[in-house]
Structure 1
Amino acid sequence: MEKHFITIGIITGKKKMTKKGFIFSAMLAGSISCMQAQTQMLTMDEVFRLADENSKSINIHSLMTDEAEKAIEIAKNDLLPSVGAKANVQYIGNCVTFDRDYSNWETGELPHFGNSLILKATQVIYAGGKIKNNINLKRLEKESSVQDEILNRQDLRFLLAGYYLEISKLSNQKFVYENNISQTKLLVKDMQAAYKQGTALKSDITRYELQLQHLELGLTSVKNRINVISYKLASTIGLDPNIKIATDTASLLRLPIESKSQELWLNNKEEIPMMKKADLNIKMSENKIKSIKGEYLPDIRFAVTGEMTGPIMVEVPPLDINFAYWFAGIEISYNLDMLFKGKKKMRHARINRQKMIVEKEYAEEELENSVHEACIGLDEAYTRMQTRLKSVQLAHENYNIVRQRYLNGLSLITDMLDAGNTQLDTELQLANDRINIIYQYLLLKKITGTL
């Protein structure tokens, strides 16, 4: 692709530049410098890097992974001893005594200040595997979060690649439009010279000037579309949306495209993120079944308890002193509700596991279909481009022949218009076909989680 540069110089010599001319040149140079500062050329790898650094979506999933990591540490805390303390301060009122028939009421003086303190430490000895299963569940959830992060990054990269390729495609179209506009202007100039010699009609010039207007309108539409896509791309990767992103077409066309069969794309199927996610869902459902089985088993803990209380109210009269003691032993607890509710929970968990198995089979089927379709699309894109190359060559040859025939008065203006439109159409389609090959290849990489 040609690169056009604007050079501004100050003419010196016999003819001096006026003050106004110098100011105008300086302002123009400044405006061009500002425009250039608003355009930034990026490779696709640089776009991906900026997205990894600045994308809010990636940042959210990264935080979710960190959160899942901390949840594992919290679950491990259940393996540690548990220590608790309970203190109580209270006011004790006087006692009242009376007969069983509620007669002979008498009031007795009691110590009014009461207090108690209980310290208790426990250590799990056996919990039916519930703690271990909970830790394993948190680990699986963390792995699932990692796969979600990978899938999100793949989706975002493919979206950005779509924007990037669209800008490249539109830039190619812009170049084709500009070439055709230059060609049309040259033809109009030739027509005007022929008109002065009496060998061309004014209506022919008018019709081609109208064609020129259509081309310029198409160019304007392409430029506006580039601005829209560039704005979306810049804002997504964390740049100022007003910066115009220019694609590095040279590096894009040098992108190595592996020629692989569908079998090779699916060779390491179990490592593809969507399949790993399905496997993790099955493991989490199996972990749920183990946890329910653990609820049928008792909890056994070693406990040490120290208590202090005062006053001693069981003595008559009450003793206004503190009483402290401690004890240690084994605590065994069992949830009797599981005898009645456990079967329903187990049936539900087994149905969930079966659903996860079917979902994995469905995901595998969808993966194979998607890879097959993308491989066919890539082969078709190659075939289309090879065919289009020949079409462009023929369209150029046809245009040159019709142009010479028209200038020699051997063809009509309608023939010229048809030849010009055919040339424009084939060039635009060729520009799109080259980008479509890269798009189909990136689609395959996104499906297999390697983008």
Structure 2
Amino acid sequence: MSNTKIFMLIICMLVVVLLSNNTAFSQHEAKITLTLEHAIQTARENNKHIAKAELKKDIATQEVDIARDRQLPDLDFHTSYARITNLTEFHNGYSNKEVIKAIPDMYDATLSAKVPLYAGGRIKTAIEKSNKEKELSTLQVEKTTNDIEMDVIGTYLGIYKLMSVQQVINEQIKEEQKRLREVQALKRNGAVTKNEILRAELQLNNMQLSLITNQKNITVATHDLQTILNLSEEMTLELDTTNLLQMPALEDAYEAYLQKAYQKEDMRIALKHQEIALAERKEVKGGFYPTVGLFGSYAYKYPDYMLFPPTPYLYSLGMIGVDVNFSISNLYKNKKKMTVANKHVAESQLETSILKDEITDKVFKEYQQLKEIKERIPVTEKAIQQAEENYRIIKVKYLNQLALITDIVDADNALLQARFNNVSEKIDAQMKFYQLLYASGMLDQNKLN
């Protein structure tokens, strides 16, 4: 073989290796395995609602700077040029007039400044209100993040629940297929009728339909999770549920969860709205007071119309003083505004009280439901043992022609329901534990433990 052919062969082999590596890399990139913790972290980084809340926080931060700028002096520069006509003065009607020659060109350049000294506390209150709105936006980021994380947990555990059901259904289908073969064998020996074969086939078909529906539900739920995590639809998600179902423990008493719930972001947001309402009322109250400002200006003008007759000379003039403005109309207009502001304060206080009641009810409900589910799990485990034993007995009787096909189908369905109930209760317990943490404002401290 010539050197040229050997060289070309080596090149072809290298190309094949590179293409294989690229294909493997692409396949690796199109598939991602997510633990619950990884899913939560991905949501923090990618979710659009969290990004929107962060953007609103940035805007609120800029609004504080804008409010503070009201303390700075206002500087203005003005310049103009005009061409004027002669002055015509009329004496005793239009018939008797006198034309006075005017200086035709006029121009000026003026620099002025105004510094607010006192505005009834409105500027200071506006800054205070902006700071509180900034703090509110920070709390909104925290709330949005917790809401999205709770959505991730709920969707993730929902998918896991469907996957567990899928496993139960697959095992049941295997059992149905085995029983169908047994019934067909009995039919060949003349021990059963064709109707019993049809019944066994119908039961198997029902299980297969359930499998198809459940798989569709998994696909839809997985797509929902991809949307929350802002991942591409082309990416394949796999859930790493290793050691996920650890039995949650109620480490604190109900009162401890309740006290922590009163400090959660929802409650702090309500209190912050109350503080903002008080600041707005204070701002309205400032309308009853005058505004005081220091002003000054310096100008170059032409011609000199300060004296008479005007002279064609450029002149400069500066001034400084104090400007006081008091709105008499605000003495009666602001009364209605104050009434509305007082009602807003009362409304925010009432909303805080209502929210406190809702939080109390929510924590109590989640706490009691978690206790109930934990008590139900041992019952469902015992039910599986009973259903398995019942199925075994009915199956033996059926094979010995001491039971009908309907009896074994009923026993089979009871076993399926018992297994489903056990899986469902365990996942519901985990979900209810996270819901209790969320309701009590403890999700951030506990969700990764």
* Distance in 2, Cα, partners of 1:171 & 1:37: 23
Q: Judge conservation of contact 1:273–1:448 (CA < 8 Å) in 2.
A: no
Instruction: Calculate the TM-score normalised by the size of structure 2.
Output: 0.88
Does structure 1 residue 427 correspond to structure 2 residue 419?
yes
Report how far residue 86 of structure 1 moved. 1.4
Name the aligned partner's letter for residue 72 of structure 2: L
Q: Among 393, 407, 428, which residue is 1:415 paired with?
A: 407
Equivalence for 1:188: 180
Q: Pairwise mapping of residues 8-27 of structure 1 onto structure 2 (< 5 A)?
A: none
* Distance in 1, Cα, partners of 2:323 & 2:307: 30
Q: Judge conservation of contact 1:51–1:237 (CA < 8 Å) in 2.
A: yes
In the alignment of these two chains, the number of paired residues is 421
Greater shift, 370-379 or 295-304, is seen at: 295-304
Equivalence for 1:231: 223
Q: Judge conservation of contact 2:260–2:441 (CA < 8 Å) in 1.
A: no
Note the residue ranges of structure 2 that are not aligned, 5 or more in a row. 1-22, 444-449
Q: Pairwise mapping of residues 105-144 of structure 1 onto structure 2 (< 5 A)?
A: 105-144=97-136
User: Deviation string for 1:46-99 (max 9, x for gaps)?
Assistant: 112211222111111110011000100111111222211111211111111221
Does structure 1 residue 344 correspond to structure 2 residue 330?
no
Q: Among 286, 290, 293, which residue is 1:294 paired with?
A: 286
* Distance in 2, Cα, partners of 1:306 & 1:75: 28
* Distance in 1, Cα, partners of 2:98 & 2:225: 89
* Distance in 2, Cα, partners of 1:142 & 1:314: 52
Q: Among 424, 428, 447, which residue is 1:436 paired with?
A: 428
SS of residue matched to 1:307: strand
Report how far residue 365 of structure 1 moved. 0.5
Report how far residue 221 of structure 1 moved. 0.8
Equivalence for 2:438: 446
Q: Among 249, 252, 258, which residue is 1:260 paired with?
A: 252
Equivalence for 1:151: 143
Does structure 1 residue 320 correspond to structure 2 residue 317?
no
Q: Among 200, 207, 218, which residue is 1:215 paired with?
A: 207
Report how far residue 227 of structure 1 moved. 0.5
Equivalence for 2:165: 173
Report how far residue 325 of structure 1 moved. 1.2
Equivalence for 1:329: 321
User: Deviation string for 1:229-269 (max 9, x for gaps)?
Assistant: 11111122111224343322224213754433321112234
Report how far residue 436 of structure 1 moved. 0.8
* Distance in 2, Cα, partners of 1:101 & 1:213: 111
Report how far residue 189 of structure 1 moved. 2.2
Q: Judge conservation of contact 2:260–2:442 (CA < 8 Å) in 1.
A: no
* Distance in 2, Cα, partners of 1:165 & 1:334: 64
Report how far residue 142 of structure 1 moved. 1.2
Name the aligned partner's letter for residue 442 of structure 1: Y
Q: Judge conservation of contact 1:227–1:244 (CA < 8 Å) in 2.
A: no
User: Deviation string for 1:293-320 (max 9, x for gaps)?
Assistant: 2222222222221122211235454311
Q: Judge conservation of contact 1:231–1:244 (CA < 8 Å) in 2.
A: no
Greater shift, 351-360 or 438-447, is seen at: 438-447
Equivalence for 2:362: 370
Cα distance change of structure 1 residues 134 and 316 upon mapping to structure 2, 3 Å threshold: closer
Cα distance change of structure 1 residues 244 and 386 upon mapping to structure 2, 3 Å threshold: farther
Q: Judge conservation of contact 1:261–1:375 (CA < 8 Å) in 2.
A: no
Percent pairwise identity: 27
Instruction: Calculate the TM-score normalised by the size of structure 1.
Output: 0.88
* Distance in 2, Cα, partners of 1:306 & 1:333: 22
Q: Pairwise mapping of residues 399-410 of structure 1 onto structure 2 (< 5 A)?
A: 399-410=391-402
Greater shift, 246-255 or 375-384, is seen at: 246-255
Note the residue ranges of structure 1 that are not aligned, 5 or more in a row. 1-30
